[in-house]
Amino acid sequence: MAKFKKRETGIEGLYIIEPTVFEDNRGFFMETYNKRDFEEIGITTEFVQDNHSKSTKGVLRGLHFQKEFPQAKLVRVLKGEVYDVAVDLRKDSKTYGKYYGAILTEENKLQFFIPRGFAHGFLVLSDEAEFTYKCDEFYNPNDEGGIIWDDKTIGIEWPLEKIDKIIQSEKDKKWKEL
């Protein structure tokens, strides 16, 4: 039995990953990453760094990318709920400038695999969320890039119905459009 299912998103290389979850009266157990099993579903990325963030409702982090040292990411929510977005920045891609968004929650346990060449961001929908992600390249603060979250040319449909106020870093407020 395959431990992971790879769901297509309509953008080449960008996938939702569904882990196998074993549940019983004690709780649950799941693998979140296994190199062999990921290779079986066609993901051969070598991860070198793990990150973990905690945010409150309305926090919008992103849209971030690294220019010269792009990062592939495997992201998931440990606690709470987020709307997670990846924007294709690969100039030679037929989906350049297109995005895919997914609800990731502690309940659905879905993961989002984002290959190199994408901008990434997320909006916290629950009162609090803990978010973790693996990267295949080390973070380089001198290599940061970003796109403003409400870029009209991309047209991300953020689920803002239950959000009173968007909370961003000063840096994220200053990003330009694609």
Taking the chain (178 residues) in runs of 10, the rounded mean pLDDT of each run is 90 97 94 95 96 98 96 98 98 97 98 98 98 96 96 98 96 96
State the pLDDT at residue 1.
60
State the pLDDT at residue 2.
73
The whole-angstrom separation of Cα 103 and Cα 126 is: 11
Judge: domain 4-173, CATH 2.60.120.10. Answer: yes
State the pLDDT at residue 91.
95
Task: Please state, as a whole number, how many other Cβ atoms lie within 10 Å of the Cβ of residue 111.
Answer: 24
Q: Which residues contact 48 (CB under 8 A, 6 or more apart)?
A: 135, 136, 137, 138
The whole-angstrom separation of Cα 92 and Cα 177 is: 19
| CB environment 160-176: b (16+ within 10 A), e (fewer) | eeebeeebbeeebeebe
What is the residue extent of each domain of the chain?
A: 4-173
> Catalytic residue positions?
64, 133
Cβ atoms 134, 73 nearer than 8 A: yes
- Sign of the torsion angle spanned by Cα atoms 97, 103, 105, 108: negative
pTM listed for this prediction: 0.95
